[in-house]
Amino acid sequence: MCRSNGDNQGETEVLNNLGYLAQLVGNHHTALSYYERSLERYRDLGHTYYEADVLDRVGQTYQALRMVSRARAAWSEALELYQDQHRRVDAERVQQLLADLGEPSR
């Protein structure tokens, strides 16, 4: 429906919500697919506020899959956006998630 009405924002939100639902029921690979599509669209629309939130969820999903380096990369991007947006609470939460991951192996 969103697509047929040319509602790019609405379609992007639907993709993000489908990703979240897939994540909640443990379908992590499906969640990532939806998140990546919504992330691309939010970037195209210039909506960095939502981009940060999707990156945060991508990090959570990669962590659930035990893909630590990818979780770290997603959370690092989210952290930068949260800081740029002065979203202190979100930034502090993501900083703690990154700290909990430990130092990257070399």
pLDDT tens-place string over residues 23-78: 999 999 999 999 999 999 999 999 999 999 999 999 999 999 999 999 999 999 99
pTM: 0.88
In order of their start, the domains of the chain are 4-101 (1.25.40.10)
Q: Is residue 100 over pLDDT 60?
A: yes
For the chain, the three-class secondary structure string (H helix, E strand, C coil) is: CCCCCCCHHHHHHHHHHHHHHHHHCCCHHHHHHHHHHHHHHHHHHCCHHHHHHHHHHHHHHHHHCCCHHHHHHHHHHHHHHHHHCCCHHHHHHHHHHHHHHCCCCC
